[in-house]
Copies of this chain bind each other. A is one copy, B any other.
């Protein structure tokens, strides 16, 4: 068995909502999905800023599917909902949206709980083990996955970058949901969605972002990872 032989589901009809779609990571992901022809619902705490972010996104080069904007509740109407908020507001935002993220909704957490001091970034302890597990605790009816931790917001947002060549590690306890997220990652030019374990192993994937930031600082790059032998 190798990667190419894994059959991933057809996700061409799925809409992707972005909670925190006006932040760097959310905005960048929204742009890449829109370039890939995915219908994106850009969410923000304020409806006005969500609408504005979608308009700005639609004006960028290469957008193949017009995004729509609204508040975070609007983004929750999508088939797959990506949580891309700062760690500081993670628990509160997820708890607030919990009534909308029910009945098997696929939720993709891509939040990295990191702290920063004069020596650089470091992993913050999370009582639930990871941001993704915190989301899963707050959203017992949703199918929570973790993915898109290591994508550089700078590369995502740069219209001149045609391909973002890296693997997206996808974690989740629901294989069907994880496969959808893998397939969505695979729609973005250059990306491959690789299943990388259960949600209980999400903490180190989130925390590895601190190491990639160290790599970026040392080598002046925008590091991601590829899985070898795959």
Contact = CB atoms under 8 A, between A and B. Distances in A.
Interface of A: 1-3, 6, 119-123, 152, 155, 165-166, 169, 171, 194-198, 200-201, 203-208, 210-215, 218-230
B224 A228 contact: yes
Contacts of A215: 194-197, 227, 230
Nearest to A195: B218
Contact of A205 (B2, B197, B211): B211
6 nearest CB pairs, A to B: A197-B214, A204-B207, A204-B204, A224-B228, A1-B220, A221-B229
Nearest to A213: B197
Contacts of A171: 211
Nearest to A198: B119
A230 B223 contact: yes
Tell me the dominant secondary structure on chain A's binding face.
mixed
Contact of A197 (B195, B211, B228): B211
Given A1-B219, A201-B122, A211 B196 contact: yes
A208 B149 CA distance: 13
20 contacts: A2-B221, A119-B198, A120-B198, A122-B200, A123-B204, A165-B228, A169-B211, A194-B215, A194-B219, A197-B214, A198-B214, A201-B210, A201-B214, A212-B227, A215-B230, A221-B229, A221-B230, A223-B229, A223-B230, A225-B225
Contact of A226 (B211, B221, B228): B228
B225 A229 contact: no
Contact of A204 (B166, B197, B203): B203
Contacts of A212: 196, 227
A214 B228 contact: no
Contact of A224 (B3, B119, B221, B229): B229
Contacts of A198: 119-120, 214
Contacts of A226: 225-226, 228
Nearest to A206: B204
